Amino acid sequence: MAGDDGQLSVIVVGSGLAGLATARILREKCQVTVYERGEPSTATGGQGIANFPNAIKIMQEIGYDPERSGSVPIQGFRTLDKNANIIFDTEFPFQEKYGAPAMSHMRVDFRAELLRLATAPSKDLGIGGEPAKMIFNNGVKDFDAEAGEVTLDDGTKAKADVVIIADGIHSRLRPKIAGEDCPKPQKSGLTCCRVAVSANQAIEALSSLPDWWENSKGDSPRIMIFEARDGTDRIMVVYGLRHCSYMNLSCIFVTREEKESTTNSWFAEGDRQEMLDIFQDFHPSLVKLIGVSTEVKLWELQDLEPLDKWVDGRAILIGDAAHAMTPMQGQGANISIEDAEAFKLLIQPGVTRDDVPAILKKIEAARLPRATAILHNTRKTSRGVTGGERYKVMDENCTYHGIFKALENL
């Protein structure tokens, strides 16, 4: 409930990327508590993630430090065949075109930086307000949207002016807002094997870094997509991490066998030999790097049909709980950062507890159509497209000017 100083109280459900970014946006003017059902290490992993200008602009505003996360600037795209012959290459002036760069980083480093921004002492960040309070191993299992009251896994209750639900693609709270018959995550027919390999591991396995890796260390790092080009829909998406001292390899292929572990988790253990078999005809350097990687994680790619609503009373769905999409355009996390930025509406002067339901409906009106458009862009460029076709939707994906501009355009 609103404090004596008039600050709104906020409960955030989930400590993933959407939840932590939201906590950072709101902590300057609100009392924020984040409830996470898992351990502090939840949602971490050694694989990569990319952010594009639509998210980077927001991250810059909240003090994101790319040096801390070893972020690698993305200067363009390169499509290669499975033998590493270049088919398509283009520089992409993200900064000049969209007002911010594109960057890739280790997912664990990205989340660690968002956690710092959500919880570091305010004086260290040069901002007002108090750090978000993090509660682990005690998630939210139920809530009363009108009262703003949540029931925790341990049976206790907590109350706030706003409840923000960011508990992921397999959200257990989504039906409470969107209805018991709301869409459920659906499989795309593709699976992604994700590995990260250090330069030291690569040199030990190959004697030297492959040419495609060396080329990425210059002034113009690329996202590289190695395509089988034989009708099998096998691709490898490769980009630098930790100042290019690591490489992310996302190996995507048609799902062979549906497994509960890869359906319910994006970081299930994978079968290294199976990956080696599937990609055995790719360039020898790529195959060897799969073989020496420390971790092999599997993720059965899923998305979510657009929901009819995200809001009920004082509660709102965001992130993958609201609009899960596959990584085929690399926009899932970026749209979640956009969601977080929308909560600027709650920290405007004069906002009271009574204003919350109407403000959440405004956020829904602006954000739901935007997320739906990016979902459609992702679906139509997921399979059977060329490198050039894959990048045609970049303008719509990367062009976003924040919640206030979005509301002007309604």
* pLDDT beneath 50: ranges in the chain: 261-263, 265-266
pLDDT for 326 equals 94
Closest CA to 283 of 356, 211, 207: 211
Tokens of 380: 């139509």
pLDDT for 259 equals 58
Contact 328, 381 (CB under 8 A): yes
Contact 182, 308 (CB under 8 A): yes
Contact 7, 31 (CB under 8 A): yes
Crossing angle of helices 332-341 and 17-26, rounded to 10°: 20
Residue 77 φ/ψ, nearest 5 degrees:
-130, 145
The pLDDT tens digits for 200-249 are 999 999 999 999 998 877 778 999 999 999 999 899 999 999 999 999 99
Terminal-to-terminal C-alpha distance of the chain: 31
pLDDT for 265 equals 47
- Tell how far CA 394 is from the center of its chain: 17
Q: What is the pTM of this model?
A: 0.94
pLDDT for 16 equals 94
